[in-house]
Structures are given as structure tokens and as C-alpha cells.
Amino acid sequence: MLILRWSKCTCVAAVALYASLVAFGNLSDYGSNLAFVQHVLAMDTIFADSTIRWRAIEQPALQHLAYAAIIAGEAITAGLCWFGAWRMWRQRHAAATRFQHAKAWAIGGLTLGFVVWQVGFMSIGGEWFGMWMSSQWNGSESAFRCFMLILCVLIFVSLRDDEFVAPP
């Protein structure tokens, strides 16, 4: 059905827009968003009696490097998803196998987005650096919403499509 193909293109473009806005926000408001990364990496607001403080990264150069990696991941996610949505859109009337092949860039972008928010924010930020312990610098809920949204779109887009048959 053509509407499913349109829907898949739209969902990928929506993730591309989101990742674009996040990357743009991180670049255009670098300082305040850097503060979030610095506090998470410095682990300065986790529970006072926590025994994991040895994991803290307090060197500004490494904090900037980590932030640059986050922004790069978000920007590349956006680029891959935009390109993937465009490729899918161009093949929306094509045979199912051609439409399926057109999804590759979108699937790559969605997978990278999942990795950025789940691995980067939830696993590394949330668990390794104990972000979940901070009442002020805790992005776990936001990251969870992001990677679940991306995962749902990834599953939806990955589903095989039937042959497109134009209505009579």
C-alpha cells in the first residue's frame, strides 16, 4: 500500500528533523549544553556516598571531545535519515525489492540514532557515569523517549513491504 510507504518516509524524515534540531541546538547553544555533558562526566551531582566517582572525567579537553562526539553522532544520524527518507521517497512507487533496498540509508541512520541515545546517554551517561543519580543533570528519561521512538521507527521501516499495486 502506498500509504505505508509514505508513512515510512515521513517517520524517517521526522527522526531526521528531530536529530537535526538537537544537533543544531547543541551547536548554537554550545555552552549551556556543554554544561550538561561536563556535569555528567564530572559526576559532581551524583549521590555523595557513591563509590563509582573514580570513573569521573574532569579534564575539559576530554569533556569537549565527548561533546563533539555526541554532536557528530546526532548530525550524522540526521544526515543519514534525511538521505534515507529522500531515497525511500524516490522509490515509493517502485517494486517492493527496490523500495526495500532504498531503506538502507534510513536503517543506518536510525540505528546510529539508537546507538547515540541508548548507548551514549542511557548506558554510558546513565549507568557508567551515574547520571541517573543526579536530580539536576539527569537526561535518562529524555534519552529513553528518544531511543524508544527511534527503535519503533526502525522496526516499522524495516518491515518488508508488499508490491505496490496502483488502484484501478
163 and 145 Cβ atoms separated by less than 8 Å: no
Tell me, what's the pLDDT at 1? 72
- 168 found inside a domain: no
Tell me: the pLDDT tens digits for 54-96? 999 999 999 999 999 999 999 999 999 999 999 999 999 999 9
**Cα 155 from chain centroid (whole Å):** 14
- 53 found inside a domain: yes
Give the chain's largest Cα–Cα span.
70
- 131 found inside a domain: yes
100 and 164 Cβ atoms separated by less than 8 Å: no
How many structural domains comprise the chain?
1
- 166 found inside a domain: no
- 167 found inside a domain: no
- 164 found inside a domain: no
pLDDT score of 16 more than 80: yes
Burial class (CB in 10 A: 0-12, 13-18, 19+), 3: exposed
What mean pLDDT do residues 28-41 have? 95
What mean pLDDT do residues 99-127 have? 97
Range(s) of the domain holding residue 128: 2-158
- 163 found inside a domain: no
Of 143, 128, 132, 151, whose CA–CA distance to 22 is shortest?
A: 143
Tell me, what's the pLDDT at 84? 98
73 and 112 Cβ atoms separated by less than 8 Å: yes
- 93 found inside a domain: yes
pLDDT score of 2 more than 90: no
Tell me, what's the pLDDT at 46? 94
What mean pLDDT do residues 19-29 have? 97
